[in-house]
Amino acid sequence: MSAAALRARVRAELTDEIKAVARRHLAIDGANLSLRAVARDLGMASSAVYRYFASRDELLTALIIDAYDALGASAESAEAPVDRADRLARWLAVCHAVRDWALAHPHEYTLIYGSPVPGYRAPRDTVPPATRVALLIGGILRDGPVTAPVSDQITGPLAAELATVGAVIAPGAPPHLLAHGIAAWIHLLGAVSFELIGQLDNVIDERRAFFEHQMRAAATLAGFAA
Amino acid sequence: MSAAALRARVRAELTDEIKAVARRHLAIDGANLSLRAVARDLGMASSAVYRYFASRDELLTALIIDAYDALGASAESAEAPVDRADRLARWLAVCHAVRDWALAHPHEYTLIYGSPVPGYRAPRDTVPPATRVALLIGGILRDGPVTAPVSDQITGPLAAELATVGAVIAPGAPPHLLAHGIAAWIHLLGAVSFELIGQLDNVIDERRAFFEHQMRAAATLAGFAA
DNA sequence: TGTACATCAGTGAACGCGCGTTCACTGATGTAC
DNA sequence: TGTACATCAGTGAACGCGCGTTCACTGATGTAC
């Protein structure tokens, strides 16, 4: 290994270490992460961090991208081995992967799906990693029958809009199934956030079973069970 | 009016004014509200605020209770005039009231249903106001048929737990309907949070129609449409 | 192989800021006699 | 009606803290000749 490459690797390793410590600090400060506290934990001067991240916001952005990628990777590798034809199983694999990851990394989940950080504006780099899980669900939708029961027709401007969105995500899917697909996605994130925030405390203890029951119901509406 | 009563009224008015200014500041600082900034806006010394609230956390608690109460009152007065027999309409009235209030008071909504504030622990006083909307939904559930289609039976520990919860909220309701009722409540909050956080940006513009479609679907599962 | 120079990670002091909370105080108003 | 006292809202200075960011610097390491 050349000297330059070695230096680059050391640099990359310390960058990772800073992010790792910062991730731990999310648990304490939430999104108003303190650069100085991170530097202190690493035993280095606070100014040294600026060799690695141009500002606090840039560090925050790196954490956000990593979180989206970790969540996306986790969902992808849970969904990939499932029989392509079993769309319900694929959907449930995604659901549990998202929930498990969120429970294992609550503060990172909050960073990406919690309340917006006051004063922080996410740059465009965060968009592609943010769409990974949604794309998985789009795939499940797309692999279904093109024609589906029209139990609840959607008409008017919403139908037109869904057609436009659908052309990208799941071409051929009828609007009401697409709507239920997006609704399922929203319900999934809502259920995970609800549990994480603690709203289920003193109400439901059988959380995994209750979660799965909800997600099965959402799947029925979206036609994943067919 | 006696002098003492007058003094009490002036005190109550200034207390309200402090809360009003603090509410405006939620938009800037989120939950890490600055007491000093609030005092500055009121043109008073920061120490003077301590005549009204013992600490920053106590002010925050007051804001939280007010927010729960305002949301609850708004949902209640939207649901009350609806024909008792039309459970779907009652449910949709609650849904739109919650959404409308959240869109009108996004930062207060975030305060109560957003990510937990790091370092803040809600006292018990916040619990009763927090349950007002849930109780409305419980009422809708309770007013339904005791026997209902058993499309998806729930068994095991979750069923037992739902029976316990159901005894309080909606006695007689079968476990799977109760589960769908809670799921509907979760979907409602999830959908509102999702829209508020901005996840719908560049995806769905017809938000009210899309929201209502979701809530109708949730109602079907919970048996509100029957 | 040896020397002069460039690179660059990391230091430590400093700037200017804001924060929550406490404390001794002023001064107006209301109460008791 | 007039005076002495109590109440209490509000002041302003201070304590002790933490923050993000900048800047001139040291010192080790790698490169070019």
Burial of residue A167, with CB atoms counted within 10 A of its CB: 0-12 exposed, 13-18 middle, 19 or more buried: exposed
Burial of residue A122, with CB atoms counted within 10 A of its CB: 0-12 exposed, 13-18 middle, 19 or more buried: middle
- Triad B20, B22, B26: Cα angle to 5°: 120
Cβ atoms within 10 Å, residue B170: 21
HEC states along chain B? CCHHHHHHHHHHHHHHHHHHHHHHHHHHHCCCCCHHHHHHHHCCCHHHHHHCCCCHHHHHHHHHHHHHHHHHHHHHHHHCCCCCCCHHHHHHHHHHHHHHHHHHCHHHHHHHHCCCCCCCCCCHHHHHHHCHHHHHHHHHHHCCCCCCCCCCCCCHHHHHHHHHHHHHHCCCCCHHHHHHHHHHHHHHHHHHHHHHHCCCCCCCCCHHHHHHHHHHHHHHHHCCCC
pLDDT at residue A147, as a whole number:
63
Which pLDDT band holds residue A117 (cuts at 50, 70, 90)? confident
pLDDT tops 80 at residue B67: yes
Residue range B84-141, pLDDT digits in tens: 999 999 999 999 999 999 999 999 999 999 998 888 999 999 999 999 999 999 999 9
- Triad A152, A157, A159: Cα angle to 5°: 40
State the maximum Cα–Cα separation within chain A, in Å, rounded to a whole number: 66
State the maximum Cα–Cα separation within chain B, in Å, rounded to a whole number: 66
Residue range A61-106, pLDDT digits in tens: 999 999 999 999 999 999 999 999 999 999 999 999 999 999 999 9
Which pLDDT band holds residue A174 (cuts at 50, 70, 90)? confident
pLDDT at residue A150, as a whole number:
57
Residue range B140-195, pLDDT digits in tens: 999 987 665 556 788 899 999 999 998 888 887 888 899 999 999 999 999 999 99
pLDDT at residue B105, as a whole number:
98
Strand C contact set, beta carbon < 7 A:
A 7, 11, 14, 43-48, 51-52; B 2-4, 6-7, 33-37, 40, 46-47, 50, 55-57
pLDDT at residue B226, as a whole number:
67
Which pLDDT band holds residue A226 (cuts at 50, 70, 90)? low
Residue range B32-49, pLDDT digits in tens: 999 999 999 999 999 999
pLDDT at residue A1, as a whole number:
54
Beta-carbon separation of A217 and B180 below 8 A: yes
pLDDT at residue A145, as a whole number:
78
pLDDT tops 60 at residue B1: no
Name the residue with higher pLDDT: A168 or A14.
A14
**Mind telling me how many Å the CA of A70 is from chain B's nearest CA?**
19
Q: Of the candidates B141, B126, B136, which has an alpha carbon nearest to the alpha carbon of residue B98?
A: B136
Q: Are B126 and B68 in contact, with CB atoms under 8 Å apart? A: yes
pLDDT at residue A61, as a whole number:
97
Spanning CA of B5 to C1' of C29, the rounded length in angstroms is 14
For residue B49, the one-letter residue type is: V
**Percent of chain B residues topping a pLDDT of 70:** 96
Which pLDDT band holds residue A4 (cuts at 50, 70, 90)? confident
C-alpha torsion sign, points B154, B157, B160, B162: negative
Which pLDDT band holds residue A151 (cuts at 50, 70, 90)? low
Q: Of the candidates A160, A171, A219, A147, which has an alpha carbon nearest to the alpha carbon of residue B210?
A: A160
Beta-carbon separation of A183 and B217 below 8 A: yes
Gap between the Cα atoms of B220 and B141, Å rounded = 12
pLDDT at residue A139, as a whole number:
95
Structure-token pair, residue B145: 């048929």
Which pLDDT band holds residue A173 (cuts at 50, 70, 90)? confident
Task: Round to the nearest angstrom and report the end-to-end CA distance of chain B.
Answer: 55
Strand D contact set, beta carbon < 7 A:
A 2-4, 6-7, 33-37, 40, 46-47, 50, 55-57; B 7, 11, 14, 43-48, 51-52
Is the Cβ of B115 closer than 8 Å to some Cβ of chain A? yes
Which pLDDT band holds residue B225 (cuts at 50, 70, 90)? confident
Gap between the Cα atoms of A9 and A6, Å rounded = 5
Q: Which of A122-126, A171-175, A188-192 is least confident?
A: A171-175
Beta-carbon separation of A110 and B115 below 8 A: yes
pLDDT at residue A18, as a whole number:
98
Burial of residue A132, with CB atoms counted within 10 A of its CB: 0-12 exposed, 13-18 middle, 19 or more buried: middle
Residue range B47-64, pLDDT digits in tens: 999 999 999 999 999 999
User: Which nucleotides in chain D lie closer than 7 A to a protein CB?
Assistant: 8-14, 18-24, 29-31
Q: Of the candidates A215, A206, A182, A193, which has an alpha carbon nearest to the alpha carbon of residue A89?
A: A215
pLDDT tops 70 at residue A187: yes
Average pLDDT, chain B: 93
Which pLDDT band holds residue A206 (cuts at 50, 70, 90)? very high
